[in-house]
Homo-oligomer: A and B are copies of this chain.
Amino acid sequence: MGVNILIIGLGLIGGSLGLALKESPLINKIIGYDQDRKTLDKALEIGAIDETLSLEGGVADAHIIFLCTPLRFYPQIIEDIKPHLKAGTIISDVGSTKQEVNRIFTGLPSEIWAIGGHPMAGAETKGIFGADRYLFENAVYVLTPPLGLPPEVLQLLSDLLASTGARITVMDAALHDKIVATISHLPHLAAVALVGLTKDDNDSLMLAAGGFRDTTRIASSDPGLWEDILFSNRDPVLKELEELIKNLNKIKMALQINNHGIIQNELRLAKDIRDKIPRMRKGLIPEFCDIVCIVPDKPGIIGQLGKILGNEGINIVDIEILRVREGDGGTLRLGVPSSEDACRAVKALQSNGIKAWER
């Protein structure tokens, strides 16, 4: 007999979690709770949850509870559910920062197992409408268990979440927060500060396709959500922000005194580090090989490429238009699962008159 899950908050993440978990043999049923009736109805309709209950009823019935609301609601929810929690219940969450969550979890009784979680997956849409059974597949899912947690409790939660297709990574909450400050929160702040440079000037924005558009895309995210994230991870963010300003000041000084050596060194170091990222994916996310091809600007070309590779039984696992201009043509990067696939793909494309090579 499997476990009962309660998902509190059926937005994109909560809804997707329900859809992904329901196929797990470890599960008995998934109970949903949300303050919005329409959201609950939709969650039932798409099968993200099996039933809805009152908050108390759900808590009393659940073995594992997932908090999937914005972080600012956690304290109130903890207050509300505390009286109804049974000893041995596991509580986890999906928030973007983990030390703050641990602080909130200290309000729980000691016989409750609270384990912070952070699935590093997002999507374009918000809310239950965007819920997607595949949201977590291949995504890194960080768990930050407290000291003294029984290993079998962590194992149960890991096994359950692994059934979503996510890659479970266990780490210390402080390390998690420092890393997300570095790789997520600071890029966001840099994008915000960069967009500010355009001063909403039309000439700048008109030329700002391509690279600028990609670099600053994250600045288009929900301001309210990001305000929450930044303040809930304030100390690590401040520390990294000071470091970023220090790095920029170093570049500024070097430009001011015309020191080519420092600039060259900074550019080269950054390239060396940056070039490691794709290689580092190996093991964590499925390794894949890149091929690059040049295609003419004509209708249906992406379908044609897909068909050529599909006929060879080669899966396109990533696709990107590299060229800094618009148009169907230009240069495309295609990710394929293996170097053997890459070799076959290049041959297949070339024999169809398309310039292609392995990267």
Query: Binary interface profile of A, 295-313, with partner B (CB < 8 Å = 1, else 0)?
Result: 0111111111111111001
A186 in the interface (beta carbon within 8 A):
yes
Which residues from chain B contact A271 at a C-beta distance below 8 Å?
219-221, 223
Interface membership of A198, Cβ < 8 A: yes
Q: Is A26 close to B, CB under 8 A?
A: no
CA distance A324 to B288 in the complex (A): 16
Which residues, 121 to 136 on A, are CB-close (under 8 Å) to B? 121-125, 130, 132, 134-136
Partner of A263, one of B230, B249, B268, B318: B230
Question: Number of A residues whose C-beta is below 8 Å from B?
Answer: 142
CA distance A208 to B1 in the complex (A): 38
Distance between A153 CB and nearest chain B CB, rounded to angstroms: 24
The verdict on A331 contacting chain B, using a C-beta distance below 8 Å, is yes
**8 Å CB contact of A252 from B196, B215, B242, B304:** B242
A227 touches B186 (CB 8 A): no
Give residues of chain A (282-326) contacting chain B, Cβ–Cβ below 8 Å.
Answer: 283-286, 288, 292, 294, 296-310, 313-326
Hey, which chain B residues are within 8 Å of A212, CB to CB?
Answer: 183-184, 187, 277
For A209-229 the 0/1 string (1 means CB < 8 A from B) is: 111111111111101101100
- CB of A147 within 8 A of chain B? no
Chain B positions within 8 Å of A57 at CB level = none
Say yes or no: A258-B231 contact (C-beta < 8 A), given A245-B245, A315-B328, A328-B315: yes
Which candidate, A27-35, A36-44, A84-92, A232-240, is the interface stretch facing chain B? A232-240
Pairwise interchain contact A273-B182, C-beta atoms closer than 8 A: no
Alpha-carbon gap, A210 to B299, bound state (A): 29
Task: Report B-chain residues with C-beta under 8 Å of the C-beta of A276.
Answer: 200, 205
Instruction: Determine if A53 is an interface residue (Cβ-Cβ < 8 Å).
Output: no
| A50, CB-defined interface residue at 8 Å | no
Instruction: State whether the Cβ of A359 lies closer than 8 Å to any Cβ in chain B.
Output: yes
Of B135, B202, B242, B325, the residue contacting A121 (CB under 8 A) is B325
Residue of chain B at shortest CB distance from A193:
B247
Q: Which of B206, B285, B292 sits near A209, CB closer than 8 Å?
A: B285
| Closest A-B pairs by Cβ, 10 of them | A303-B306, A223-B267, A300-B310, A193-B247, A299-B315, A139-B325, A192-B270, A183-B212, A303-B310, A195-B270
11 contacts between A and B (CB under 8 A): A122-B324, A125-B292, A132-B330, A134-B294, A135-B330, A187-B215, A193-B251, A194-B244, A196-B266, A205-B277, A231-B263
**Apart from the given pairs A132-B330, A137-B329, 4 other A-B contacts in the complex at a CB distance below 8 Å:** A192-B251, A196-B266, A196-B269, A208-B277
Residues of A bordering B, CB below 8 Å: 120-125, 130, 132, 134-140, 142, 169, 171, 175, 179-180, 182-184, 186-187, 189-198, 200, 202-221, 223-224, 226-227, 230-231, 234, 237-238, 240-245, 247-249, 251-252, 255-256, 258, 260, 263-264, 266-278, 280-281, 283-286, 288, 292, 294, 296-310, 313-331, 333, 335, 359
